[in-house]
Each structure stands twice: as C-alpha cells, then as structure tokens.
Chain A
Amino acid sequence: KAGVTQTPRYLIKTRGQQVTLSCSPISGHRSVSWYQQTPGQGLQFLFEYFSETQRNKGNFPGRFSGRQFSNSRSEMNVSTLELGDSALYLCASSFEGLAVGGHNEQFFGPGTRLTVL
C-alpha cells in the first residue's frame, strides 16, 4: 500500500506570496490532518479534514486554510506569507481520524519544506 505523499517536497517563496501544498492520503483513509513543524515551536496541529469537512482547527491565523476533495486528497493554502511561516509542513492520514475515546494511528508523509525569503 502506498504511503502518504506530499507535493512539492521543497518550496521557496517570498514574503507576501501565497502557497498551496498538496497531500494524498493512504488509499481508503478519510481523515487528513496538517501540522507545522519549526525548531522553535515543534510540531503544531493546524487542522483536520474528514469527508471534505473541517472537523478540527488549531490556533493558527486565518491565512492558513485547507480543503479536502471527494477522493480524500487535501490541500492547504497559506496566503500573504511571512518569514515565520518557514517550516516543515506535515500531512497525516488515518482511516477514521481522531475519534473521541479511541485511537486511530496517524500515518505521516515526508513533509513539504517551505522557505520564505
């Protein structure tokens, strides 16, 4: 079974631009979560999508948005990029998502390394 894939793997943008990152989950998985990883803040949860609906959201400004398509593929968008948005953006998929009272193993992709100049 193919793992979670993320494209592109590396990206360089300048301040003020916008960027779209893509994530293809494992076949059959319906939940996709996005995380931001920086040396200073570590891994921080951005949002989770399940069956095309945003089900969870972390504490990030509105410049960070996402969506999920009917085939469970997901995209996240960052508008008006700032230097502090430079990070590794990780996508994780699971079958049921983060269901209450249970555990659903999250399968992470290799990430997209975004550098904002």
Chain B
Amino acid sequence: DAKTTQPNSMESNEEEPVHLPCNHSTISGTDYIHWYRQLPSQGPEYVIHGLTSNVNNRMASLAIAEDRKSSTLILHRATLRDAAVYYCILSASTQGGSEKLVFGKGTKLTVNP
C-alpha cells in the first residue's frame, strides 16, 4: 500500500492560515488523495479530496504538487474548532477491484486562541 508521511504535530494561532503538508512519494497514478480529520472523542470526518488538480471547498483547499508526490491541506483561517488530528490518506486499489482507505499517523493540529 502506498504510504503517507505527515508531521506528528503542528501549532497555529486562531484566524491565521494553516498549511498541513503530506508526502506520498509512492503514490500510483490512480490513487486519490483524501483528507479526513478527527475531532476529540469523535469519528473521522471528510475534509476534501483530489486527484491531480488543486481543489477548494467550504472547509479547506487542497494543493497537489505537479508530480503528485506531495500535497498540502490549507485551512484559510483556523478556528478553535479546527483543533483535530488531520489524516492524509491514499485510496489503494485492492485485488477485488475496489479500494480501501490507508490511514497514516496523522498530524495533530493545535490552535491557540
């Protein structure tokens, strides 16, 4: 399975932008890049996903390197509610023809007031 590498932790101040990096040097051409986050005492929740082009939604932006070996999740204005563990995930094709999500260790984001 292709793996992702993220910093263990990052800190940000409230209302400032946050750039969360992810390396995935062994990504295959068909792997999608997904980001999920897990708030304390909750299950993970979807943030954003992409394949090749940069993506924007109401929660965040995803910047994907041209060679697809790295990506960056951008939170434009961090709030206290954004404090969570952020997972960069690749979807790996299986022998059965479908896919599974392969989670890494994630980045614990602390947002300071």
Identify the A interface with B (CB < 8 A): 4, 33, 35, 42-45, 48, 50, 55-56, 58, 90, 92, 97-103, 105-111
Contact status B98-A43, CB under 8 Å: no
Q: How many residues of B contact A (CB 8 A)?
A: 26
Identify the B interface with A (CB < 8 A): 30, 32, 34, 36, 41-46, 49, 87, 91, 93-94, 96-106
Contact status B43-A108, CB under 8 Å: yes
Number of A-B contacts (CB under 8 A): 66
Minimal beta-carbon separation of A38 from chain B (angstroms)? 12
Minimal beta-carbon separation of B111 from chain A (angstroms)? 22
Bound-state CA distance A44–B103 (Å) is 7
Contact status B32-A103, CB under 8 Å: yes
Minimal beta-carbon separation of B64 from chain A (angstroms)? 14
Minimal beta-carbon separation of B18 from chain A (angstroms)? 21
